Amino acid sequence: MKVLIVENADLVAQMGAEIIRELVDSKPKAVLGLATGSTPIAMYAYLVQIHKLRGLSFKEVSGFNLDEYIGLESDSPQSYRSFMNRSLFDGIDIGLNNTYLPSCGYEDDFNSVASEFENTIRAKGGIDLQILGIGRNGHIGFNEPISSLSSRTRVKTLRQDTIEDNSRFFDEGEFQPFQAMTMGIGTILEAEHILLMATGLEKAKAVRDAIEGPLSAMCPASALQLHKKVTVILDEASAQELENKNYYKWVNEKNKELEAMVSTGHTRGNSCMSEQL
Ligand code: GLP
């Protein structure tokens, strides 16, 4: 894993947006895996700015969201479809017909919705970059603790702590879903590159368990340790419990020194001289 620790949440958002910009710039037909929650909102706002001010086009980009609630109409303000329209899709030129969420209602056949979602990912050539936030309990998407580390897209019943955490998006007395369809951990691990972002002290324990903890279904995000290319961007608060925090910072300083040595002609260097993931 490449673990980048920056001063604050705004820098996390900027760096995340820059990684997406680079990808879309070099691959206009990029396939993005997208996440909801508070964490990526500021990054999406930067992408809208980059689109408007610098002309980055998402016309040929496809987007697959990690998850969607069951029991909400897709035009309900709390659905993840509405969240994505509001936070990103309405502000860029992506074709809405190229955006996919694992949306299904109780009347639908869950298995066929899930396999169609996975088939569409495959038909698009797989996900180039999967964006992830992390739940306080270590979930990614809605893969709650003890999810199979090789799970595929399916329905999950949410844990009470997840429902409490997300209750801030619902008015009192309003129906709040307790189930969702989510990409599985196995599905997520098939992405070419995974970008996990976390901010705030309340995520510090989940971040530590994901990066340094044992590989365990009790912390679904720890499955990322199995992936060959994961970038983690953290603010200082969410990095607080990392035992090797200073080492990660040191590695990044050394990588910058290497880049400077190349640019000042001290060494010829090559594309693989900085630390590999
Ligand atoms: C939600 C989403 C996750 C998200 C997580 C953290 O339940 N299903 O994809 O990463 O919670 O959300 P937040 O960024 O709001 O803390």
Q: Which domain CATH number covers 200?
A: 3.40.50.1360
Measured distance CA(135)–CA(37) in Å, rounded: 9
Per the structure, how many domains does the chain have?
2
Residue 17 has pLDDT above 90, yes or no: yes
- Beta strand segments in the chain, E: 2-6, 31-34, 62-65, 67-69, 99-100, 129-132, 154-157, 179-182, 193-198, 230-235
pLDDT value at residue 269: 65
Which domain, by its residues, includes 276?
245-277
Asked whether residue 216 falls in the same domain as residue 113, the answer is yes
Asked whether residue 158 falls in the same domain as residue 275, the answer is no
- Mean pLDDT over all residues of the chain? 96
Q: Is 18 labeled as catalytic in the residue annotation?
A: no
Tell me the CA–centroid distance for residue 253 and ligand 1, in Å. 30
Q: Which of 51, 68, 118, 137 is catalytic?
A: 137
Tell me the CA–centroid distance for residue 142 and ligand 1, in Å. 8
Tell me the CA–centroid distance for residue 276 and ligand 1, in Å. 28
pLDDT value at residue 271: 56
Asked whether residue 254 falls in the same domain as residue 233, the answer is no
pLDDT tens column, 32-77: 999 999 999 999 999 999 999 999 999 999 999 999 999 999 899 9
pLDDT tens column, 71-124: 999 899 999 999 999 999 999 999 999 999 999 999 999 999 999 999 999 999
Asked whether residue 125 falls in the same domain as residue 238, the answer is yes
Strand 179-182 with 67-69, pairing: antiparallel
* Contact by Cβ (8 Å): 181, 154: yes
Average of per-residue pLDDT across 219-242: 98
Asked whether residue 71 falls in the same domain as residue 178, the answer is yes
pLDDT value at residue 133: 98
| CA atoms 52, 54, 60, 63: torsion sign | negative
Average of per-residue pLDDT across 138-153: 98
* Residue 265 pLDDT grade (very low, low, confident, very high; cuts 50, 70, 90): confident
Asked whether residue 122 falls in the same domain as residue 171, the answer is yes
Average of per-residue pLDDT across 244-258: 94
Average of per-residue pLDDT across 159-182: 95
pLDDT value at residue 22: 98
